[in-house]
């Protein structure tokens, strides 16, 4: 699903709200979600799941084109763990 599809789906159920306003609200929600994950290292949305910030250690790797050994720098990433309710809904999708 794209952002435009999400906005259209929300607009179908809320015809009194403009698509532009829905898009702005979604942008603000995702900006705050990202800030919350960065600040608190996690964000939980009940019934949906939990996003957690993880730190990857530096590690050794191989350049697949040259075969040369390289060092991959430490980095941060975000993981998502779906809630039990979300998993149940996935199994009965459609």
Distance CA 53, CA 79 (A): 6
- How do residues 15-66 score in pLDDT, each as one tens digit? 999 999 999 999 999 999 999 999 999 999 999 999 999 999 999 999 999 9
Number of other residues whose CB lies within 10 A of the CB of residue 39: 10
Q: What is the pTM of this model?
A: 0.73
Largest CA distance in the chain: 59
Hey, what CATH topology would domain 41-94 get?
HU Protein; Chain A (4.10.520)
- List the chain domain ranges: 1-38, 41-94
| pLDDT (mean) for 58-78 | 95
């Amino acid at each position: 699903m794209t952002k435009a599809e999400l906005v259209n789906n929300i607009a179908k159920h809320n015809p009194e709200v403009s698509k532009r306003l829905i898009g702005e609200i979604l942008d603000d929600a995702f900006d705050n979600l990202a800030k919350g994950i960065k600040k608190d290292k996690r964000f939980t949305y009940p019934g949906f799941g939990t996003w957690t910030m993880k730190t990857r250690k530096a590690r050794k790797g191989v350049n697949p084109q040259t075969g040369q050994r390289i060092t991959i720098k430490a980095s941060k990433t975000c993981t998502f763990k779906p809630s039990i309710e979300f998993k149940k809904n996935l199994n009965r999708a459609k």
